[in-house]
Amino acid sequence: MSGKRIVVLISGSGSNLQAIIDRVNAGAIAGEIAAVISNRASAYGLTRAADAGIETRVLDHKAFADRLAFDQALMETIDSYAADLVVLAGFMRILTPEFVRHYNGRLFNIHPSLLPKFKGLHTHQRALDEGEREHGCTVHFVTEELDGGPAIIQAATAIVAGDNADALQQRVHQLEHRIYPLAVEWFCAGRLQLEAQGVTLDGDLLPGSGYRLQE
């Protein structure tokens, strides 16, 4: 497969990584995953990558003096694969401004909430506690503002009577596995751009909350 070179960063299970692998293998994405990098050696996503024949690397943040030293090693590793796109898929380390600037316009994250609502952790329980009528997930370009970069695509699920955080998390995960590969597909097809005024898809400015995937 020719096309864009994608590097995926993970810390855990890698189910979003798997969803992207599946869409690459289905021929939907004009690119290939050049490498998967984890900050945790025990991340199950490394097994998924190896099973798919993808190169894996482990960079343990605890082996570095500070965040900048870790991020510099991470940048060198990513750049050794000549990445066009860097995808955070359950990657749990906050990245320095230096790192974020280096990949400006080609760094994605997926966050389990309808941003700008519920930045940070424990999003499912917080959505329930706040009495929200719906909850979901957002793919966004990463900027220096944590979980605050311009949105690319969102998908939502209704919160129903008797819902709990586990059930909600499972439904949101299913949505994540649809929207993350779609955003990667658009980027690799050259359809998605981060511009001064916001995110464009096929040259049209998207709303501030991104493209809304319909149920």
Residue from 20, 89, 175, 184 touching ligand GAR (CB under 6 A): that is 89
Tokens describing residue 30: 């004009």
Cis peptide leading into 116, omega within 30 of 0? yes
Spell out, one character per residue from 172 to 191, where the chain touches ligand GAR: x when CB under 6 A holds, - when not: -x--x---------------
How many residues at the interface with ligand NHR, by CB under 6 A? 14
Residue from 24, 29, 54, 112 touching ligand GAR (CB under 6 A): that is 112
User: Is the torsion defined by CA of 199, 103, 154, 32 positive or negative?
Assistant: positive
Query: With respect to ligand NHR, which residue has the nearer C-beta, 111 or 135?
Result: 111
Name the residue with the smallest CB distance to ligand GAR: 90
Residue from 5, 40, 111, 135 touching ligand GAR (CB under 6 A): that is 111
Q: Is 111 marked active-site?
A: yes
Can you give the binding site for ligand GAR, defined by CB under 6 A?
10, 12-16, 45, 89-90, 92, 110-112, 137, 173, 176
Per CB under 6 A, residues contacting ligand NHR are 88, 91-95, 100, 109, 111, 142, 144, 146-147, 149
Residues designated catalytic:
111
